[in-house]
Amino acid sequence: MSDKTYLPKLKGMLTAPHMWDAFVEMLDFQIEQQRRMLEQSNDMSDVFKAQGAIAALRHLKYLKDEINVYK
């Protein structure tokens, strides 16, 4: 999606640092869970799913930077 008009609507999440920190903590926990699944998986489809999940979670983790840059 090239039109990122949704980003200003998310600024409310950044005004309460404790909420953002809790969100990032939850993302870190989920990334760690997916990393464990990735390491223990024997099936390539499970490996690909875990890799995709980790990529999506990391994208969310750095959403704050994207929101702050948007004008």
pLDDT, one tens digit per residue, over 17-46 is: 899 999 999 999 999 999 999 999 999 999
The whole-angstrom separation of Cα 45 and Cα 9 is 35
- pTM value is 0.82
Closest CA to 45 of 55, 36, 37: 37
For residue 11, the model assigns a pLDDT of 86
Please, which pLDDT band fits residue 71 given cuts at 50, 70 and 90?
low
